[in-house]
């Protein structure tokens, strides 16, 4: 029998610390992920599903028992539905094929082209939303790694949460210019760019696949 992702009668996600207060958990999550993001680029992989799971587990593994595991139910947000959970693996294979076709962004250096291709990769990954929570932060890490390959930092610290959410929603429905504008302002050239540090396909990380004995159910 599947367990609910949330504690009964609440919107608080089950967590390793047993925290039942939504605000307390949210604050802990923000601070933990902020610290984890500092060394997330040490998570090596080739931008496939295994790599995405490893990044998510690195960011959220200290808090949630299902970190690094694809969701086992469908989810909605602000009236928008995301990829059906049965199709997550197949859709991520398509996403990965697109990244491979772009040479992992290693051969695209013109900024306008970088903006266009990165935003497209983001929009596709965002529509998939493979996890129960933490998709946006995982997505920004993956896009940041791809941006590094092209010789750019990806810094959205100057973007408001409202503008980001609005642009994300519009990109989901095929209107890309608001998010492209955000990407254009967020991408900054890396000083002394070292091509040897590009995120070319490397040794894949361990498989953090879903443990079927510990399934969760989306509300």
Residue 219 belongs to some domain of the structure: no
Residue 182 belongs to some domain of the structure: yes
Residue 162 belongs to some domain of the structure: yes
Residue 62 belongs to some domain of the structure: yes
| Sequential DSSP letters for 35-61 | HHHTTGGG----SSHHHHHHHHHHHHT
CATH number at residue 195: 1.10.3290.10
| 152: helix, strand or coil | strand
Find the domain containing 108 and state its range: 3-214
What is the pLDDT at residue 78? 73
What is the pLDDT at residue 73? 92
Low-confidence ranges of the chain (pLDDT < 50): 201-213, 216, 218
Structural domain tally of the chain?
Answer: 1
pLDDT digits (tens, 9 = 90+) for 37-46: 999 988 989 9
Structure token pair of residue 114: 């970088």
Residue 28 belongs to some domain of the structure: yes
**Closest C-alpha to 198, from 155, 153, 151:** 151
What is the pLDDT at residue 208? 33
What is the pLDDT at residue 203? 35
């Amino acid at each position: 029998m599947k367990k609910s992702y949330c504690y009964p009668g609440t919107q608080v996600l089950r967590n390793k610390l047993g925290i039942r207060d939504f605000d307390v958990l949210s604050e802990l999550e923000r601070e933990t992920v902020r610290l984890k993001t500092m060394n997330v680029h040490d998570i090596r992989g080739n931008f496939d599903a295994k790599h995405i799971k490893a990044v998510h587990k690195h960011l959220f593994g200290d808090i949630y028992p299902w970190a690094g595991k694809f969701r086992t139910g469908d989810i909605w947000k602000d009236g928008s539905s995301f990829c059906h959970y049965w199709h997550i693996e197949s859709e991520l294979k398509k996403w990965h094929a697109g990244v491979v076709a772009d040479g992992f962004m290693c051969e695209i250096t013109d900024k306008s082209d970088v903006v266009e291709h990165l935003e497209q990769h983001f929009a596709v990954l965002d529509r998939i939303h493979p996890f129960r929570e933490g998709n946006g932060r995982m997505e920004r890490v993956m896009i940041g790694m791809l941006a590094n390959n092209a010789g750019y930092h990806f810094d959205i610290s100057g973007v408001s949460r409202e503008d980001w959410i609005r642009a994300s929603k519009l990109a989901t429905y095929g209107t890309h210019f608001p998010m492209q504008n955000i990407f254009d302002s967020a991408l900054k050239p890396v000083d002394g760019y070292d091509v040897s540090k590009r995120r070319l396909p490397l040794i894949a990380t361990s498989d953090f696949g879903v443990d079927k004995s510990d399934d969760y159910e989306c509300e």
